[in-house]
């Protein structure tokens, strides 16, 4: 059995443009909508589509003219009390906490989720998908894609923070007894 998974980062939102902690209900911005609508999706990946339940991921799916099944395992990292706020706002309100998070961005934000937690849920989802045959498209978020790479390729989570995952970037993984990175690009 062989499985191919395309992890597609959701298109841009205001938070992704200015630097911030996206909230689950944050919509795509106008350039993000336009870029997603112009995105050329390989037809093989239109059949089985999973998407983060976040509004930005669901709107990316709609712009691609695919129907994504809301998949909680693909939800962005929960930013807790910082969700929906810019980095500048958080820095102004809680400079010490923001400095601690910058020193270790794999740690949880106040009331939020740590990257280890994201990696565990994404790893379980990858295990389930590996048992299926055929192509899968997963529309998700940069942190989730990094966690998936860590799980699939046995990378330390911290090292994945050095991988830039831009909006609409694609990561292609294949599974045939083990996960392999097939492509990383935009």
Q: pLDDT tens digits, residue range 116-149?
A: 999 999 999 999 999 988 899 999 999 999 999 9
> Do the bridges between strand 178-185 and strand 170-176 make them parallel or antiparallel, or are there none, so unpaired?
antiparallel
In this structure, the number of other CB atoms found within 10 A of the CB of residue 165 comes to 21
**What radius of gyration, in Å, describes the C-alpha atoms of the chain?**
16
* DSSP per-residue letters across 31-84: HHHHHHHH----GGGGSSEEE-SSHHHHHHHHHTT--PEE-GGGPPPP-GGGTT
92 lies in a domain? no
In this structure, the number of other CB atoms found within 10 A of the CB of residue 103 comes to 8
Q: How many domains does the chain have?
A: 1
Check which CATH number belongs to the domain holding 34 and give it.
Answer: 3.40.50.1240
pTM for the model: 0.94
93 lies in a domain? no
91 lies in a domain? no
User: Which domain range does residue 17 map to?
Assistant: 3-78+118-185
What is the mean predicted confidence (pLDDT) over 25-36? 96
74 lies in a domain? yes
pLDDT tier at 44, thresholds 50, 70, 90: confident
């Amino acid at each position: 059995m062989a499985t191919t998974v395309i992890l597609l980062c959701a298109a841009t939102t205001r938070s992704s443009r200015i630097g911030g902690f996206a909230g689950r209900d944050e919509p795509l911005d106008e350039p993000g909508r336009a870029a997603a609508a112009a995105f050329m999706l390989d037809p093989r990946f239109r059949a089985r589509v999973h998407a983060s339940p976040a509004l930005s991921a669901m709107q990316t799916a709609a712009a691609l003219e695919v129907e994504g099944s809301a998949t909680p395992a693909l939800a962005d990292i929960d930013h807790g009390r910082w969700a929906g706020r810019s980095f500048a706002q958080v820095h102004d309100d809680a400079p010490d906490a923001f400095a601690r998070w910058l020193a270790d961005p794999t740690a949880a934000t106040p009331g939020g989720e740590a990257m280890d937690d994201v990696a565990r849920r994404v790893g379980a989802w990858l295990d389930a998908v590996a048992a299926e045959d055929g192509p899968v498209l997963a529309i998700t978020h940069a942190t989730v894609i990094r966690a998936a790479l860590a799980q699939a390729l046995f990378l330390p989570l911290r090292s994945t923070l050095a991988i830039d995952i831009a909006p609409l970037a694609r990561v292609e993984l294949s599974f045939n007894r083990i996960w392999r990175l097939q492509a990383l690009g935009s």
